[in-house]
Copies of this chain bind each other. A is one copy, B any other.
Amino acid sequence: MQTEEEILKIKKVKNTAVRTVVLRHLLSQEKAQSLKDIENALAYTDRSSIFRTLKKFEENKVIHSIEDGSGMTKYAVCAKGCNCDPKDLHYHFYCTNCDKTFCLFDVPIPKIQLPENFKLQQANMVVKGLCDNCNK
């Protein structure tokens, strides 16, 4: 596992106190985090600073965002080597019971056969249902 400093260096994001703590928090969580989640976890860091940090991170491919339909955008750290290309596409799972959203890095995404002359750039694939913990 890389340290926060290493990740930021690779992704060419200048290291600051806020950025380190935000990235550390994201790395420590198994579920994707909303701005509010992060704000709650980092009591002394301002929301707009976190917000701008997330924007910067997303721009530089440190993290990617997920629209899971909960009304709050979620963020998750990109896998090592990820470039947010179509090849890095993966499903996200949203548990309708416990509200947890996370990346399904291990579930392969089949090639999508778009109609004639369409060009794929990115995708937001959210699968919803019950996670193993809630499906009992």
A residues with CB within 8 A of B: 67-69, 91, 93, 96, 104, 106-108, 110, 112-132, 135
What distance in Å separates the Cβ of A126 from its nearest Cβ neighbour in chain B?
A: 5
- Minimum distance in angstroms from A85 CB to a CB of chain B: 12
**Residues of chain B within 8 A of A129, CB atoms compared:** 114, 118-122
CB neighbours of A127 from chain B (8 A): 112, 114, 120, 123
Please pick, from B69, B119, B130, B132, the residue contacting A135 in the complex, using a CB distance under 8 A.
Answer: B119
A-B contact pairs, 14 of them (CB 8 A): A67-B67, A67-B69, A104-B114, A107-B112, A107-B114, A107-B115, A108-B113, A114-B127, A114-B129, A117-B135, A119-B130, A119-B135, A120-B127, A120-B129
A115 partner residues in chain B, CB cutoff 8 A: 104, 106-107, 132
Kindly state the separation between the CA atoms of A51 and B117 in the bound complex, as whole angstroms: 35
What is the copy number of this chain in the assembly?
A: 2
Q: Which of B108, B118, B125, B135 contacts A131 (CB 8 A)?
A: B118
| A86 → chain B closest CB, angstroms | 9
> Among the listed B69, B110, B121, B132, which residue makes an inter-chain contact with A124, where contact means beta carbons less than 8 Å apart?
B69
Residue pair B123, A125 in contact (C-beta under 8 Å): yes
Chain B contacts for A114, CB-based, 8 A:
93, 104, 107, 127, 129
